[in-house]
Amino acid sequence: MGEVVGGVGVPHTPHFPGIVDRGGPLAAELRRLYGGAAGHLRSLDPDVIIFFTCDHYNIFFIESLPIFSIGVAPSARGPSDYRELPAYEIPIADGLARHIQAHAVGAGFDLGMSQEFEFDHPVTVPLHFLTPDMDVPIVPVFISGLMPPLPPAWRCQALGAVIREAVEAIPDGARIAAIASGSFSLEIGGPRMSAHSHTGVPDPEWADHILARLSTGEVDTLVTEAIEERLTGAGNAAGEVLTWIAMLGMLGARAPVSLEAQREFGHAFGTWLVETWPPGVNMPAPAFRTGGREGRSP
């Protein structure tokens, strides 16, 4: 059967590839953070990556906005929204995607199916750093995390669990990893953006709280806390944390191998390994970093 082996959670800030290419002030830090996540992903040696993302009104818009959808095309180009970013043709494991969609619908999820689309930067920026050769096919899972009403966090967690069931039902023994793409507190072009940028971090304390919950594997508790009012209060893009919750629904509630925040941006980089710590097994608290401070999770 298919085997879920681990995953990574990363941000997708569209300016990061350019900062790294130009050798800007954040370049060394970004190389280290994305490099660590990329190294972890390579160590998992996945055959396919389940990619949890929130569309930024580029694939879906008010005319048709599914709460959950899965991409089943053989491949898709991107990014569709930032032409200055490197363009890629990204392979999709369409057979597995169709299997997951059928399994999820049979399990009671109204999981839509998208056959023609282009990826936007929430997919291409992480893959630019994590799998730059685009040699590992993905299965894109779109979660409506930006436009209310948002799906409940418990439903996103359950979707991840159903995807794991579908993966474990395939007969070929494929190794399946996951990527979650998104921030914890983020305002884009809204009234809570900062005075010097078109973005802002309205609720850094909420981002810190998410980091603390993730660092100890308290995913179930985070799910009960991540209600829509809390998410929308943390910014008009803070619903992207639902991609992380869905990923951890697939991986199981467990502490990460590593977890580090960029607090000024309201996001973090995390890595998980399923094979090391089965859910429910006591484990040492992982090292984590936030705002330049390193320590042990409380």
What percentage of the chain exceeds 70 in pLDDT? 88
Question: For 143-203, where are the alpha helices, taking DSSP H only?
Answer: 153-168
Q: Give the mean pLDDT of the chain.
A: 89
Confidence of residue 202 (pLDDT cuts 50, 70, 90): confident
Q: Above 90 in pLDDT, residue 285?
A: no
What's the rounded mean pLDDT across residues 11-28? 94
Confidence of residue 188 (pLDDT cuts 50, 70, 90): confident
- pLDDT score recorded for residue 191: 65
CB-count exposure of residue 287 (10 Å: 0-12, 13-18, 19+): middle
pTM, to two decimals? 0.90
- pLDDT score recorded for residue 194: 63
Among the residue ranges 1-10, 31-40, 162-171, 184-193, the one predicted with the least confidence is: 184-193
Q: Is 53 left (phi over 0), alpha (psi -120 to 50) or beta?
A: beta
Confidence of residue 131 (pLDDT cuts 50, 70, 90): very high
Q: Please report, in angstroms and rounded to a whole number, the separation of the first and last CA atoms in the chain.
A: 37
Sheet holding 287-290, edge to edge: 112-114, 68-71, 138-143, 48-53, 175-181, 3-10, 267-273, 258-262, 287-290, 293-296
